[in-house]
Amino acid sequence: MQGDGERIEITISSRFENIELVQVIAEHLCENAGVDEDGSHWIGMAVREAVANAIKHGNKLDISKKVNATFDLRGSELEITISDEGAGFDPTKVSDPLDKQNLMKTSGRGIFYMKTFMDAVHYSFNPGGGTSLVMTKNLAKGSGIASTKA
């Protein structure tokens, strides 16, 4: 694992086709830090879900609004911040997709994915508008999904 710090920042307009740009950065950053292909994939998937939520639910597909992604790697600790310009939401009202009553719903799994693939997920809501999602992952611990499997 590399010990040097690394910071990468990218700002995109709210288009679904831009999601992959951010996902690829995440995956390459992880691979460069020594994470295996599977681990990098799942972190990239968490980033994909976060950016998709920011575009769809945060910025409501308004292409004039931006999504900012920041990757901070310090030692083996990766912190990813995804920020949008939306009105925010109440995280306590996000339903559990594993509840039997929610299992067959066609949406509502994005945040669950992030929590599954990352060590921690937090939201902050800026007084002037906009939501920031902060996800952290200790890259030395390997792929997060393996520990959640039945």
- Does 69 bind another protein (CB under 8 A)? Our answer is no
The answer to whether residues 117 and 46 touch, using CB atoms and an 8 Å cutoff, is yes
Question: One symbol per residue from 115 to 144: x for binding another protein (CB under 8 A), - otherwise; what is it?
Answer: -x----------------------------
The pair of structure tokens assigned to 60 is: 């409501």
Rounded to a whole number, what is the distance in angstroms from the first to the last CA of the chain? 29
Helix, strand, or coil (residue 91) = helix
- Does 106 bind another protein (CB under 8 A)? Our answer is yes
Cα–Cα distance, 121 to 26 (Å, whole number): 16
CB nearer to another protein: pick between 71 and 113: 113
- Does 85 bind another protein (CB under 8 A)? Our answer is no
β partners of residue 10: 69
Site for another protein in 3-62 (CB under 8 A): 16-17, 19, 38, 41, 45, 48-49, 52, 56
CB nearer to another protein: pick between 81 and 116: 116
